[in-house]
Amino acid sequence: MERDGRTAEPDKRGLRREFLSVRNRLTADDVREAGRALAERALELPELVRGGTVAAYVSVGSEPGTLALLDALRARGVRVLLPALLPDNDLDWGEYTGPGSLARVQHGGKMALFEPSGTRLGPDAVTAADVVLLPGLAVDARGMRLGRGGGSYDRVLARLERAGAHPRLVVLLYDTEVVARVPAEAHDKPVHAVVTPSGVRRFPGP
């Protein structure tokens, strides 16, 4: 696939619309129940049993819920980092210390996000993570992730590579979002595992 978007991006845009359409039909109860099940499955990952530092995110809208997982990780003594969106779509990071440490932030015409309200640690803070939990819309049999298209996590993955950091990369999805194949470009990086409400699937990884 070409990197300039002439071939891969139209396919990605169409797929994003399809997956978002399915998510948007979910009820609030569907999302909450999926979040509880997803937390149970994720907490079975050995990488999340050992403690250390996990870079995560706060789910919004119809994304698989992450708050139950964030609180369970903190209860285990894990240091949890959460992103804060910068004007150029890069991500800064702050520490999650409970629901009271979150602030609802409206970024222009984009969806409001819940971000850490405490001290900002800088974009490079993610390089200290042992595990990075990634949002997405789908993942395929190779471990290639389809994101929302904003590029924020492409920057995160590039920053990890430049720093020589090798955290485990885990994407959190619904069961129907694990598919045979998604469009991938030369700069796309596979993840190590996907967690869905029904279980964990591992990939060879980068």
Q: Which CATH number belongs to the domain containing residue 155 in this structure?
A: 3.40.50.10420
- Number of CB atoms found within 10 A of residue 140's CB: 19
- Quick check: is 150 in a domain? yes
Of 176, 169, 181, nearest to 205 by C-alpha is 169
Token pair of 182 as six digits: 């998604």
Q: How many domains does the chain have?
A: 1
pLDDT digits (tens, 9 = 90+) for 100-117: 999 999 887 777 899 999
- Quick check: is 17 in a domain? yes
Token pair of 176 as six digits: 């129907």
Q: How large is the angle between the packed helices 67-75 and 28-42, nearest 10 degrees?
A: 30
Token pair of 9 as six digits: 């991006």
Expressed in angstroms, the distance from the first to the final Cα of the chain is 19
Q: Residue 205: its pLDDT value, please?
A: 53
pLDDT digits (tens, 9 = 90+) for 132-176: 999 999 999 999 999 887 889 999 999 999 999 999 999 999 999
Token pair of 65 as six digits: 């819920």
Residue at token pair 């797929």: 15
Asked whether residue 2 carries a pLDDT value surpassing 80, the answer given is: no
Q: What is the Cα–Cα distance from 62 to 76, expressed in whole angstroms?
A: 27
Q: Which domain holds residue 173?
A: 8-202
- For residues 88-106, give the mean pLDDT: 94
Token pair of 52 as six digits: 């250390």
- For residues 27-51, give the mean pLDDT: 90
Q: Residue 108: its pLDDT value, please?
A: 77
Kindly write down the DSSP assignment for every residue of 114-147, as one continuous string: EEE-S----GGGGGG-SEEEE--SEE-TT-BEE-
- The structure's pTM equals 0.90
- Quick check: is 185 in a domain? yes
- Quick check: is 3 in a domain? no
Asked whether residue 3 carries a pLDDT value surpassing 80, the answer given is: no
- For residues 85-114, give the mean pLDDT: 90
Asked whether residue 97 carries a pLDDT value surpassing 90, the answer given is: yes
Average pLDDT, the chain: 89
- For residues 61-71, give the mean pLDDT: 93
Q: Residue 150: its pLDDT value, please?
A: 82
Number of helices followed by number of strands (H, E) in the chain: 5, 11
- Quick check: is 1 in a domain? no
